[in-house]
Structure 1
Amino acid sequence: MEQMDFDFLQELVETPSPSGFEQPAQRVIRRVLEPVADELHTDVMGNVIARIGGTGEHCPRVMLAGHCDEIGFMIKHIDDNGFLFFAAIGGVDAHLVPGQRVYVHTASGPILGVVGKKPIHMMETKDRETVVKLKSQFIDIGCVDKAEAEKLVAIGDPATFAVGLERLQGDRVISRAFDDKMGAFVVARVLQEVRRRGPAPVDLHVVSTVQEEVGLRGGTTSAYGVNPDIGIAVDVGFATDYPEMDKKEIGEFKIGKGPIIARGPNVNPVLFDLLVATARAENIPYQVMGAPRGTGTDANVIQLSRGGTAAALVSVPLRYMHTPVELLSLDDLESTINLLTALMYRIESVGQFIPN
């Protein structure tokens, strides 16, 4: 991965964007895509939509969607001693939260805090085996009382884990929020590549969607607004190449072995075949996931928008999803960008996606 692209990825994943509070990350997306897109706008939900027109008349309208929101927390109560009580934004694992450093994102900027934890020495045996419910956990920002805390923090302020992107060995990187700012990165890079290579035979709309983690909300509204003929969600997928993951239940998916292409009722069968054919023709490694029902991603709502859309889901294998140490391969990101870019030049007409 080129250093400029890595810097874009790092800035995006480290910029806070819990569901409903995505605009700091969306400002990054807008800054990067404004010089590239024919059109760029933000809708009332906060989705950022960038477009490059295609060659010829009546081009198929293609939508690529990656959601930029991340899981996090929201401040719900400040007690008399200045401790902050919170609720989850999205699917937060209560096991992981105690003892973590967090940033509370306030009107005047981020404030560092820690999620307090009773020392193990003071815990009964049964308590050591019990997960503390999120409603009983609290953030300590070092204030002496409620009055001091309320000068800094407001009810409804969001918070995120205080970690960023770091390199491991080879092409492996870790960060919070790869789910799914990685997807927003991928679709933005596809738009850049289409601009670099020259016009494709599609009217390409790239969308950085919002509020996926709390109900596919931005994907729903942006798909209605764009009204695509073909829509592809780019998200993370469960890697199963580490201990305790059940390959029999999920499938076998490895880091570094390429994007995961979903197959099932949420995916247009012709579009699935075209994705696989493109990967083979371009010598791009890929993996296939059987998805026997809705995928729980923006592909669900894209498929069902208006009169229906030829939908697909392309995922990047990820270890440790919804933790502060999500792990993926930079090579898998590049392979996903290459696959989707090449696909844009292989789409011929809307009619080719009507199943026979």
Structure 2
Amino acid sequence: MNEQDFALLKELVETPSPSGFEQPAQRICRREMGTVTDELRTDVMGNVIARLPGPAGAPRVMLAGHCDEIGFMVRYIDENGFLYFAPIGGIDAHLVPGQRVHVHGAGGPVLGVVGKKPIHLMEAKDRETVVKLNQQFIDIGCANAEEAKKLVAVGDPATFAVGIERLQGDLVASRAFDDKMGAFIVCQVLKEVKRRGSVPVDLHGVTTVQEEVGLRGATTSAYGVDPDVGIAIDVGFATDFPGVEKKDIGEFVVGQGPIISRGANINPALFDLLLATAREEQIPYQLMGAPRGTGTDANVIQLNRAGVAAALIQVPLRYMHSPVEVLSLADIDYTIRLLTALMPRIAEAKGFIPN
């Protein structure tokens, strides 16, 4: 990944976009996809949909990467100015105490910390108990509720106050790779397809919203696009670190290529085409057995209207839904290459009805 592309990934990942509050990130997606097409719209849900028209009669292809991230929402401000909150999406209560957060108020981000009783003051039994999220609180440094309410309000979202950092090799750590990395890939595939000249399919790049709270944006955008083929780009569980049982979900290693899912949620002809494309283009890949509907946008895309030929491509990710998600930049590049190379093969395919 070159420095210009990395700068875009960094900007997108670090721009706050908890589910229901995605527009700061969507403004970036509109800007980027608007450089390659004039057919760009935002629907009433907040999904951004860019179209690269193909030849008459070309299959309609939808690429979907959700731009929302997990976060928090202020639910109550007590008399001393402490903020009580609820999770937006799947938050592990173990991870939250002691974290720095940004509360995104009307006047801009307000730095806060999630407080915790010192271990010296805890009973022995309490040291082994996870504090429930509804009992945790954010301290923004105010003396009372009046001061706090000048800066933040009930309903304001919050995110972990961390951004992208380089580790060794091409590994990087950040919050919100799930799944602004997927939105980044959608933008980059559209640019690369356009750069190569004639567009072989009727291509719709969609950065969806509200995936973390129920696949909501993909449900409505798929209905609006009505694709013949729909491919969700998301993160997948890496299992190459201590404590993960590979027998449960498989063996997936960061840096060894995207994960291609196979199972009930995946159209078998499209799956075969993805594998053939990866092999012909010498792109490394990993296989995941998915015996039921996946918890991704691919699930609702497949079930749209009378049914869609669906696929799921995932970038291996360590420590999902934490402030320190880790992935390989090479896996992102592999995924962009794979999806770009797939487009003319979809155009040449004889159809995707299983037989």
Does residue 268 of structure 2 align to residue 269 of structure 1? yes
Q: Find the counterpart in structure 1 of residue 124 from structure 2.
A: 125
Does residue 55 of structure 2 align to residue 18 of structure 1? no
CA–CA distance in 1 between the matches of 2:249 and 2:39?
39
- Following superposition, the deviation at residue 345 of structure 1 comes to 1.3
Give the AA of the match of 2:27: R
Structure-to-structure mapping, 1:199-218, within 5 angstroms:
199-218=198-217
Structure-to-structure mapping, 1:260-299, within 5 angstroms:
260-299=259-298
CA–CA distance in 1 between the matches of 2:81 and 2:50?
44
Q: Find the counterpart in structure 2 of residue 32 from structure 1.
A: 32
- Following superposition, the deviation at residue 67 of structure 1 comes to 0.2
Give aligned pairs, total. Answer: 355
CA–CA distance in 2 between the matches of 1:178 and 1:348?
31
- Following superposition, the deviation at residue 35 of structure 1 comes to 1.5
Deviations for 1:82-116, whole angstroms, at most 9, x for unmatched residues? 00000000000000000000000001100000000
Q: Find the counterpart in structure 2 of residue 159 from structure 1.
A: 158
- Following superposition, the deviation at residue 199 of structure 1 comes to 1.8
Does residue 334 of structure 2 align to residue 304 of structure 1? no
Deviations for 1:280-303, whole angstroms, at most 9, x for unmatched residues? 000000000000001110000000
Q: Find the counterpart in structure 1 of residue 98 from structure 2.
A: 99
CA–CA distance in 2 between the matches of 1:16 and 1:281?
38
CA–CA distance in 1 between the matches of 2:326 and 2:248?
21
> More deviation in 342-351 or 109-118?
342-351
Q: Secondary structure at the match of 2:323?
A: coil
Q: Secondary structure at the match of 2:224?
A: helix
CA–CA distance in 2 between the matches of 1:68 and 1:220?
14
CA contact (8 A) 1:53 1:199 kept: no
**Aligned CA-pair RMSD:** 0.8
Q: Find the counterpart in structure 2 of residue 138 from structure 1.
A: 137
Does residue 248 of structure 2 align to residue 249 of structure 1? yes
CA contact (8 A) 1:60 1:350 kept: no
Q: Find the counterpart in structure 2 of residue 172 from structure 1.
A: 171
- Following superposition, the deviation at residue 350 of structure 1 comes to 7.1
CA–CA distance in 1 between the matches of 2:142 and 2:166?
34
- Following superposition, the deviation at residue 136 of structure 1 comes to 0.3
Does residue 241 of structure 2 align to residue 232 of structure 1? no
* Runs (4+) off by over 2 Å: 348-351
- Following superposition, the deviation at residue 32 of structure 1 comes to 1.1
- Following superposition, the deviation at residue 351 of structure 1 comes to 4.9
Structure-to-structure mapping, 1:175-186, within 5 angstroms:
175-186=174-185
CA contact (8 A) 1:229 1:350 kept: no
Deviations for 1:110-147, whole angstroms, at most 9, x for unmatched residues? 00000001000001111000000000000000000011
CA–CA distance in 2 between the matches of 1:32 and 1:236?
21
Q: Find the counterpart in structure 1 of residue 6 from structure 2.
A: 6
Deviations for 1:137-183, whole angstroms, at most 9, x for unmatched residues? 00000000011101111100000000000000010000000000000
Does residue 63 of structure 2 align to residue 64 of structure 1? yes
Deviations for 1:165-206, whole angstroms, at most 9, x for unmatched residues? 000001000000000000000111000000111123200000
